[in-house]
Structure 1
Amino acid sequence: MKERRLTTATAATLLALALAVTGCSSKAGTGKTGQEDAKGVRTGDGITDKVIPLGVLTDLTGVYASLGKSVTQAQQLWAKEVNAKGGVCGRTIRLTVRDHGYDPQKAVSAYTELEPTVAGYVQFIGSPFVAAVKQRVETQDKGLILPQAWSASLLGSPYVRVVGATYDIETINALDFLLAQKKIAKGDRIGHVYFEGDYGENALQGSKYAAERAGLTIFEQKIKPTDNDMTAQVTALRKAGVKAVMVSAGPRQAASLVGVAAAGRFAVPIIGNNSAFSPQLLATPAGPALQKNYYVASSTLPIGSPEPGPSALAKAYRAEYPKDSLDNGVAAGYSAGKIFEEVLTRACADKNLTREGMAKAVRSMNAFDNGFGMTHDFTDPKAPSTRQSVIMQPDARTPGGLKVVQGAATSKVAEGFTFGG
């Protein structure tokens, strides 16, 4: 499927579409209290005495198809495990999956289709698409969304809750790692190759913030999701004399950047955001260079980590999907499922399994450990669940293709960062 350019105009179109379709469903969810069950638990939209339905809005055929598949299958595995234990609040979890193919209209239409029939969304890939429905969610629908997206533009809502560090924080931590490892130093010029739009520009805010405080200079290279050959960017970066490169793009762009740099003997460290790697890249000509000069920042331990959470998940995932490879989307999807499970469990204990009850339950989670390397605090909707990042390096010998080189940590600069400031 052709990748799409997400410009400011596209974002405006998305918002208009979201507002236009608000009244198109036969029953718009309200988040209001429903009837009480036999145990006195109030229930809301879509929930029956036997089922808690959750939506999965994913990309199985577009730009992030590989990620969408692994995230979705990990969440299906999570739901299967929960249901085998008796479900939550005496009810089984039912996932309804819609593939939007990273298409703006399909994403918003799929949200509108599912909204009256699900209690919330355990996955929604695409920062621009989540942002397009955010106002509607806050004022009308009020269903909890755990997006597979990390733009700071999604912060501030009691219903859209970012799991992990936002791109700006992740970028600050990434550059701090390079400084701490003495791969860069005060006075250096750092390249930043980034997607136009929400993702890349939020990451750029982080690199500029970190650079100002570390005495660095940022040399920008804005690209489109359709730009797959990074030869021109590497030429510009070399000419500018950069000592390292931050990349906030997709796996294809990262592989091209690293591969072209290596072919030209431009040996500088390159570090990417969590969306800028796929283990399939290790089998390409860029594989050796990725293992030598490339790093990745993320808010979960990699699926190949030996810690109990990732190792148990890797074993279970292989048993469930023996023909599919492991990647970090498995860890991200499953950990989001564990967070939603805790939300439902707390809402049930409060006897308030409505959408508002779930929003209240998630705000009570101040140190939740989902087993993937860090705790999450959801008490402040204006902040992501953590400011920590794990730094990893590609390694073909490790299941999932990534090994940890620095455990979960928050840099001092990231601690002082103010969102929206």
Structure 2
Amino acid sequence: MSITRRTVFLIAAAIFVLAFCPGLSLAEVGVTKDEIKIGGILDQSGPIAFMGKAVSDGSKMYFQYINDKGGVHGRKINYIVEDDGYQPPRAVQAVKKLTSRDQVFCIFSVLGSAQCNAMYPILESQGIPLVLPATQNQDMGVPPRKYLFLGDPTYTLQGKIALEYIVEDKGIKSPKVACIFQDDTPGHDWRNGVRIGARHYGLDVLELPFKRGSVDFGSQMAKCKDEGVTHVLAWALVREPGIMMKEAQRLNYKPTWIWAAPSLSKKVLELAGDALDFNSDIYGTSIWSDAARDKTPSLQLVQDCIDKYGWGNYDEPLFLYGFQSAMTLVEGLNRAGKDLTREGLIKAFETFDNYDNGILAPITWGPNKRAGGDSVKMFEVKDGEWHAMQQGWRFTTIKD
């Protein structure tokens, strides 16, 4: 087959461009000389829209701050948020739109593990990272998947530390423990952590699941009282804790409570009403700092941005959560360097060794580690507010 003069010319021109004009070389999808497209998928209109909007607003504020400073290596961040209504099928449609039509560089801060699992095969097939899903489910990081980076301490870890705290920190060697949990993946992760802790200490656990959306916990509370349970370790969201504590008050039953991270909000305490005074021993496993009392540069930056831009809610933990997630993504983008690629971002994240953004628990990732958070802070309720009980982060000594 003969080679035409035109073909020779085109090959020579291509070699010249690649050798002497690196700035004109092929760029990664979603990356131009002045922009990085980032896709987010969070509930904006469904049952937990209040959570999705708070998280995405926090991220938007930090990206605005970074863009105002000139971006990341001179590139502004274009954050495109899609609404999935907290429905996995809609999340799949959203990721198809973001990757094919919008051609984003990566997917960031998806709310919900079912959504992440549903979309992951699509992302894996295209080599697109799924960064910092807004969930604490164990299977997001264990076993590790190349393109998925979980930052949050898992519910399994939280369940272990909750029981460890009772035995080691409080010195109660033979507590009578009940585990109340929503009968789904996050609830099961918490239950599994409590089981691991109970097995380590040779304790029995009364397991009491409930269905998502439950508003009647009379049977669970009556069972706990009848069995002489001294410590209730519970995974729930925002509405259920107040109902449980009110039911315990009605039964004149006063256990010690330890709640998983999703229940550590002001709204939970407000909904509990006067049951908060009756249930005096209330604790929780927090994945973030005590924003009201910890003084870190990152928390000060949140307040400075709120003052500057005139919007945002410092008192909303999920807003802070979204802000810090964006901080961690930007840290990875900075480490990946000016010649940004998806593989480069993966390698950059794998250098994170106890990375502390000043809000979330420190993150460690590596080639064979994708569950980044290994610690929590224990909180307690004092004077009607959540307070951190320690300055640093609490790790577990219990092996799986």
Aligned to 1:129: 115
- How many residues are paired up? 375
1:408–1:322 CA distance, 2 compared to 1 (3 A): same
User: For 1:275, what is the secondary structure of its paired residue?
Assistant: helix
- Indicate how the Cα distance of structure 1 residues 364 and 89 shifts in structure 2: closer, same or farther if over 3 A, else same: same
1:271 aligned residue (251, 254, 258): 258
Is 1:191 the counterpart of 2:183 in the alignment? Answer: no
Which has the higher mean CA deviation after the structures are superposed, 122-131 or 104-113?
A: 104-113
- The answer as to whether partners of 1:42 and 1:354 remain within 8 angstroms in 2 is no
2:126 and 2:260 mapped to 1: Cα distance? 33
**Kept after mapping to 1: 8 A contact 2:29/2:105:** yes
Aligned to 1:332: 321
1:346 and 2:335 are equivalent in the alignment: yes
Structure 1 CA distance for aligned equivalents of residues 360 and 135 of structure 2:
19
Residue 288 of structure 2, aligned match among 281, 284, 300: 300
Percent of aligned positions that are identical: 22
CA distance in 2 between counterparts of 1:222 and 1:149 reads 20
How many angstroms does 1:272 deviate by?
A: 1.6
Task: Give the 3-state SS of the residue equivalent to 2:152 in structure 1.
Answer: coil
Deviation, 1:210, is 0.3
Give the Å deviation of 1:294: 2.2
Q: CA deviation at 1:157?
A: 1.1
Report the CA distance shift for 1:253/1:41 in structure 2 as closer, same or farther (over 3 A): farther
Distance 1:222 1:118 in 2: 40
- Deviation per CA, 1:200-234, whole angstroms, max 9, x where unpaired? 11111111000011122111111122112322221
- 1:97-116 correspondence to structure 2 within 5 Å: 97-116=81-100
Residue equivalent to 1:7: none
Task: Note the alpha carbon deviations across 1:325-355, whole angstroms, 9 max, x for none.
Answer: 6222123212211111011111125x2x122
| Deviation per residue, 1:29-75 (Å, 9 max, x gap) | xxxxxx99964786322222221111121123334333222211110
Q: CA deviation at 1:99?
A: 2.0
Counterpart of 1:163 in 2: which secondary structure?
Answer: strand
CA contact (8 A) 1:151 1:198 kept: yes
TM-score after normalising by structure 1:
0.82
- 2:112 maps to amino acid: G
Contact 1:74 1:330 (8 Å CA) reproduced: yes
Change (3 A) 1:335 1:210: same
If the length of structure 2 is used for normalisation, what is the TM-score?
A: 0.86
Aligned counterpart in structure 2 of residue 62 of structure 1, from 24, 42, 46: 46
- Distance between the aligned counterparts of 2:158 and 2:262, measured in 1? 11
Summarize the alignment of residues 245-394 of structure 1 with structure 2, pairs less than 5 Å apart. 245-286=232-273, 289=276, 292-309=280-297, 311-316=299-304, 318-319=306-307, 320=309, 322=311, 324=313, 326-349=315-338, 351=339, 353-372=340-359, 374-394=361-381
Match of 1:144 in 2: 130
SS at match of 1:371: coil
Q: Which shows bigger deviation, 299-308 or 85-94?
A: 299-308
Q: Classify 1:164/1:383 alpha carbon distance in 2 versus 1 (closer, same or farther; 3 Å).
A: same
Query: Contact 2:65–2:305 at 8 Å: present in 1 too?
Result: no
| Structure number with larger C-alpha Rg | 2
The verdict on how the C-alpha distance between 1:193 and 1:202 changes in structure 2, with shifts beyond 3 A counting, is same
Question: What SS is found at the alignment partner of 2:283?
Answer: strand
Paired residue type of 2:206: F
2:227 match? 240
Give unmatched runs, 5+ long, in structure 1: 1-34
Tell me how far 1:263 sits from its aligned partner.
Answer: 3.2
Sort the Cα spacing of 1:359 and 1:41 in 2 relative to 1 into closer, same or farther, 3 A: farther
CA contact (8 A) 1:303 1:313 kept: no
Q: Distance in 1 between matches of 2:200 and 2:25?
A: 51
Paired AA for residue 235 in structure 1: A
Deviations 1:180-204 (A, max 9, x none): 3437432x33111112221111111
Q: 1:47, 1:53 within 8 Å by CA — same for their partners in 2?
A: yes
Cα distance between partner residues in 1 of 2:382 and 2:312: 21
Aligned to 1:219: 206
**Does the CA-based 8 Å contact 2:127-2:147 persist in structure 1?**
no
- Return closer, same or farther for 1:258/1:222 CA change in 2, 3 Å cut-off: same
Q: 1:154 to 1:41 in 2, by over 3 A?
A: farther
